[in-house]
Amino acid sequence: MGVSKLDILYRRFLLSKLFIQGWGKPDDLRRLFEFRKTIGNREKCQHLVPKDYPIFIDKIEEQADCQIMDGHFVSPLDHYLPGIMPAESIKARFQFIVPKEWKSKYRPVCVHLAGTGDHFYWRRRTLMARPMIKEACMGSLLLENPYYILLKPKDQMRSSLRNVSDLFVMGGALVLESAAILHWLERGGYGPLGMTGISMGGHMASLAASNWPKPIPLVPCLSWSTASGVFTTGVLSKAVNWRELEKQYATETVYEEEIIRLLEYCGADSFKMGQDFVKNSSSTFENLDHRDLATGMLDLNVKREMMRTATVTRFSTDTAALNASTQGILLEGTSHTGCLNHQMSSTNISKYSSSVKHELLKMDKRKASLARESILFMKGVMDECTHIGNFSVPVDPSLIIVVQAKEDAYIPRAGVRSLNEIWPGCEIRYLEGGHISAYLFKQGLFRQAIYDAFDRFLQKYSV
């Protein structure tokens, strides 16, 4: 199956860069990888957020067909990894939209997590929550992403996370915040409860639902089993600031020597899969325009070779200047001895030029090698924190309906484990078209999948 041209075209209009400050602090990555082992295990994670976790309502707005409540609470992640979240993101915010009247004894509510760039609530409220009230008398709780809108650090541009580690902080926060919200909804007598999201929101919803200790309807839309392909082979990889990532990977040995040892791979060794993928796709990576690096950023502990190359280059330049002077003398008329000296100088310069070319070729190879190693490192850290296989299987996978676009250029499915392999019994619905067209024109199908998942829950678990 090909990829959507609309996805590729749309990406070209977005000029923002991701991860402009690099990988993040090595100590933050260590703490996050260690914490992933806890939230990846449902038995451990379910005890992190108490059932009576405090949540506060700040405002209630009455409308003709619904009631809209705005609320907040302290993100539980701050209790377990203090100092890792930006100060602006510690206070989690949400909007809760419920019908004025419920049409049955049930009060179903779906928690919607936000996709990339989905700041505040208006998109989810307009495209999903309000129609869901009219079509199914279903409430919606819209949880704001850390690093977005009011929760955005002052030096962050729009949705462009500054560090790779920021994405993992966001994921960890949303897993625990979703648990707090689900407990709060249960205390309020709402149910059945489900989760959904589009794109990144769908992936975050998948991680959160995997840690809920009860059967729960889950509808991840336009997401897949891991985010590693999104940032290494999908069209969004063009937005990654590879220049800074490769510079840090080349100069900070801690990433290569210590962080890699902390990675745990799910199922098949994803790092090896990544190596095989890069080896089989080398020509593709060599042609990527974001691999144009400054020479000083290229080396992985080969500084002496670079110094030697620089010395040869300077010597060759000086000799070339001397040769030019000799040529000038020869033009004025010299002896046969002068001509012989000129030929010898030309021979030496040719030899030095060949040496320089050889060193430049070696540098080009090191440049390509560094690009590949950075891609592999990105794949490794992304799989560590985002691969669904590194998290518990939801209690009842038959309540999961995955909605994916056949030609999605943002969420590559090649080379990664399928969701129906990780979640046996889940349903996968494929839509025609790509990521952007599905988001713009298939919202009704997303909602229908939510209704179907909730109906399955009622058929299996209603009292």
Q: What's the whole-number mean pLDDT along residues 11-23? A: 84
280 token code pair? 């089989």
461 token code pair? 């678990």
Helix 303-332 / helix 336-386 crossing angle, nearest 10 deg: 150
Q: What's the whole-number mean pLDDT along residues 182-197? A: 98
What is the reported pLDDT for 41?
95
What is the reported pLDDT for 1?
60
Residue 331 forms part of a structural domain: no
Beta strands in 42-181 (DSSP E): 56-62, 66-74, 91-99, 109-113, 139-143
In whole angstroms, give the CA distance from residue 228 to residue 237. Answer: 10
Residue 202 forms part of a structural domain: yes
Residue 417 forms part of a structural domain: yes
Least confident of 30-39, 107-116, 296-305: 296-305
Residue 422 forms part of a structural domain: yes
352 token code pair? 């030095």
Residue 285 forms part of a structural domain: no
Q: What pLDDT, in 10s, does the model give residues 191-244?
A: 999 999 999 999 999 999 999 999 999 999 999 999 999 999 999 999 999 999
Least confident of 318-332, 373-387, 431-445: 318-332
The number of distinct structural domains making up the chain is 1
**Could you tell me which of 228, 233, 201, 173 has the C-alpha nearest to residue 383?**
228
Residue 95 forms part of a structural domain: yes
What is the reported pLDDT for 151?
75
- The pTM score is 0.81
Residue 348 forms part of a structural domain: no
Output helix, strand, coil percentages for the chain, rounded to the nearest 5.
55, 15, 30
Q: What is the DSSP letter of 343?
A: H
pLDDT mean across residues, the chain? 83
**Could you tell me which of 26, 31, 24 has the C-alpha nearest to residue 163?**
24
Q: What pLDDT, in 10s, does the model give residues 404-442?
A: 999 999 999 988 899 999 999 999 999 999 999 999 999
Range ranked top by mean pLDDT from 147-161, 262-276, 398-412: 398-412
**Could you tell me which of 408, 414, 461 has the C-alpha nearest to residue 198?**
408
Q: Over 90: is that where the pLDDT of 275 sits?
A: no
Residue 328 forms part of a structural domain: no
In whole angstroms, give the CA distance from residue 117 to residue 120. Answer: 9
Q: What is the CATH number of the domain that holds 124?
A: 3.40.50.1820
Quickly count: other Cβ atoms within 10 Å of residue 318's Cβ.
Answer: 10
Q: What's the whole-number mean pLDDT along residues 249-277? A: 66
What is the reported pLDDT for 353?
67
Q: Over 90: is that where the pLDDT of 166 sits?
A: yes
**What three-state secondary structure class fits 346?**
helix
Percent of the chain with pLDDT over 70: 77
Residue type, 329: I
User: Structural domain of residue 157, as residue ranges?
Assistant: 5-276+370-461
Q: What pLDDT, in 10s, does the model give residues 65-114?
A: 999 999 999 999 999 999 999 999 999 999 999 999 999 999 999 999 99
Half-sphere exposure of 393 (CA within 13 A, CB side): 13
**What three-state secondary structure class fits 422?**
helix
Angstrom CA distances, 334 to 35, 323, 341, 426, stand at 79, 14, 11, 88
Q: What is the DSSP letter of 149?
A: G
